[in-house]
Amino acid sequence: MKLNIKKTALAVAGALTLGAASIGSALADGVTIDEIVGDQASVDDILTYGLGPRGQRYSPLDTLNKDNIQNLFPVWSFSFGGEKQRGQESQPIIKDGVMYVTGSYSRIWAVDIATGEELWQYDARLPEGILPCCDVINRGAAILGDKVFFGTLDAKLVALDAKTGKVIWRKKIADYQAGYSYTAAPLIVPTEAHGPLLVTGNSGGEFGIVGQVDARNPETGELVWTRPVIEGHMGTLNGEESTMTGNANETWPGDMWKNGGGATWLGGTYDPDTKLVFFGTGNPAPWNSYLRPGDNKWSASRIAINPEDGEIQWGFQTTPHDGWDYDGVNEFISFDMEKDGNTIKAGATADRNGFFYVLDRTNGDFISGTPFVQNITWAKGIDENGRPIWDPENRPGDPAESADGKKGKAIFAIPSFLGGKNWMPMAYSQDTKLFYIPSNEWGMDIWNEPVTYKKGAAYLGAGFTIKPIFDDYIGSLKAMDPATGEVKWEYRNKAPLWGGVLTTAGGLVFTGTPEGYLKAFDAETGEELWKFQTGTGIVSSPVTWEQDGEQWVAITTGWGGAVPLWGGEVAKFVSYLNQGGSVWAFKIPKQLAMK
Partner 1 sequence: MNQHTATSHPKSIACAQNTGMQKPGTQNYRELPQRIGIGTPVNPQQFGYGLQALGRLLWMFVVSSLLLCGQSIARPYDDVIESGVLTIFVYEDYAPYSWVEGGELKGIDVEVGRAFAAELGVEADFLVRGADENIDDDLRVNIWKGDLIHRKAADVMLHVPVDREVDARNNLAVIMAPYFLEQMAVVADSSVLPELDTFGRFLYQPIAVEVDTAGDFFLSNAFRGQLHNSIRRGRTFGDAVDLYNNGEAVALMGSRAQAEWVAFQSDKESKVHQPPMPGIVRRSWPIGIAIKHDSRDLGYALGDVITELINSGKLAEITKKYGVEYIVPENL
Residues 133-152 that bind partner 1 (CB under 8 A): 135-136
Binding partner 1 (rule: CB under 8 A), the pick from 74, 195, 293, 535 is 293
461 forms part of the interface with partner 1 (CB under 8 A) = yes
403 forms part of the interface with partner 1 (CB under 8 A) = yes
Binding partner 1 (rule: CB under 8 A), the pick from 450, 488, 494, 568 is 450
Closest distance to partner 1 from the beta carbon of 467 (Å): 19
What count of other Cβ atoms lies within 10 Å of the Cβ of residue 463? 14
For 64-89, letters b (16+ CB in 10 Å) and e give: bbbebbeebeebbebebeeeebbbbb
| Total length of the chain | 595
Chain centroid to Cα 436, Å, comes to 15
Closest distance to partner 1 from the beta carbon of 292 (Å): 8
List residues bridging with 147 in a β-sheet: 144, 161
Distance CA 8, CA 5 (A): 5
571 forms part of the interface with partner 1 (CB under 8 A) = no
Q: DSSP string spanning 135-175? A: -S---B-EEEBTEEEEEETTTEEEEEETTT--EEEEEESS-
Closest distance to partner 1 from the beta carbon of 245 (Å): 19
Closest distance to partner 1 from the beta carbon of 131 (Å): 6
Distance CA 177, CA 519 (A): 41
Distance CA 478, CA 434 (A): 9
114 forms part of the interface with partner 1 (CB under 8 A) = no
Q: Which of 325, 340, 351, 365 is catalytic?
A: 325
Binding partner 1 (rule: CB under 8 A), the pick from 11, 75, 130, 592 is 130
Distance CA 314, CA 333 (A): 15
E-only strand ranges, 441-482: 442-454, 457-468, 475-480
Distance CA 45, CA 36 (A): 10
Binding partner 1 (rule: CB under 8 A), the pick from 19, 129, 341, 392 is 129
Residues 6+ apart with CB under 8 A from 341: none
Binding partner 1 (rule: CB under 8 A), the pick from 256, 563, 577, 588 is 256
341 forms part of the interface with partner 1 (CB under 8 A) = no
Strands 442-454 and 508-512 come out as unpaired
Binding partner 1 (rule: CB under 8 A), the pick from 341, 453, 575, 576 is 453
Distance CA 363, CA 383 (A): 18
Amino acid (one-letter) located at 7: K
253 forms part of the interface with partner 1 (CB under 8 A) = yes
Closest distance to partner 1 from the beta carbon of 300 (Å): 18
Binding partner 1 (rule: CB under 8 A), the pick from 206, 445, 522, 550 is 206
**Residue 465, SS3?**
strand
Active site residue 325: yes
Binding partner 1 (rule: CB under 8 A), the pick from 74, 82, 195, 254 is 254
Q: Which stretch binds partner 1 (CB under 8 A): 320-328, 450-458, 515-523, 581-589?
A: 450-458
Residues 6+ apart with CB under 8 A from 470: 441
The contact mask relative to partner 1 for 259-278 (x = CB under 8 A, - = no) is x-------------------
Binding partner 1 (rule: CB under 8 A), the pick from 451, 535, 549, 578 is 451
DSSP category for residue 498: -
Closest distance to partner 1 from the beta carbon of 293 (Å): 7
Amino acid (one-letter) located at 504: T
* Closest C-alpha to 583, from 512, 506, 489, 503: 512
Closest distance to partner 1 from the beta carbon of 304 (Å): 29
Amino acid (one-letter) located at 83: E
132 forms part of the interface with partner 1 (CB under 8 A) = yes
321 forms part of the interface with partner 1 (CB under 8 A) = no
Closest distance to partner 1 from the beta carbon of 112 (Å): 30
Binding partner 1 (rule: CB under 8 A), the pick from 3, 16, 178, 193 is 178
Strands 223-228 and 234-237 come out as antiparallel
DSSP category for residue 496: P
306: Cα within 13 Å, side-chain hemisphere: 12
Distance CA 140, CA 154 (A): 16
Q: Which stretch binds partner 1 (CB under 8 A): 247-255, 348-356, 438-446, 518-526?
A: 247-255
Distance CA 227, CA 27 (A): 33
The contact mask relative to partner 1 for 37-56 (x = CB under 8 A, - = no) is --------------------
116 forms part of the interface with partner 1 (CB under 8 A) = no
105 forms part of the interface with partner 1 (CB under 8 A) = yes
Nearer to partner 1, 4 or 402 (CB): 402
Nearer to partner 1, 291 or 483 (CB): 291
Q: Which stretch binds partner 1 (CB under 8 A): 66-74, 248-256, 349-357, 379-387?
A: 248-256
Closest distance to partner 1 from the beta carbon of 437 (Å): 29
457 forms part of the interface with partner 1 (CB under 8 A) = yes
Nearer to partner 1, 261 or 310 (CB): 261
Binding partner 1 (rule: CB under 8 A), the pick from 207, 365, 381, 527 is 207
Amino acid (one-letter) located at 201: G
Closest distance to partner 1 from the beta carbon of 254 (Å): 4
The contact mask relative to partner 1 for 361-400 (x = CB under 8 A, - = no) is --------------------------------------xx
Distance CA 288, CA 284 (A): 9
Nearer to partner 1, 453 or 576 (CB): 453
Chain centroid to Cα 9, Å, comes to 30
Residues 6+ apart with CB under 8 A from 353: 318, 319, 324, 326, 376, 378, 379, 388, 415, 419, 420
**Residue 304, SS3?**
strand
258 forms part of the interface with partner 1 (CB under 8 A) = yes
Closest distance to partner 1 from the beta carbon of 14 (Å): 45
| Binding residues for partner 1 (CB under 8 A) | 86, 105, 126, 128-132, 135-136, 153, 177-179, 205-208, 253-256, 258-259, 285-286, 288, 290-291, 293, 399-400, 403, 450-461
Catalytic residue positions? 325
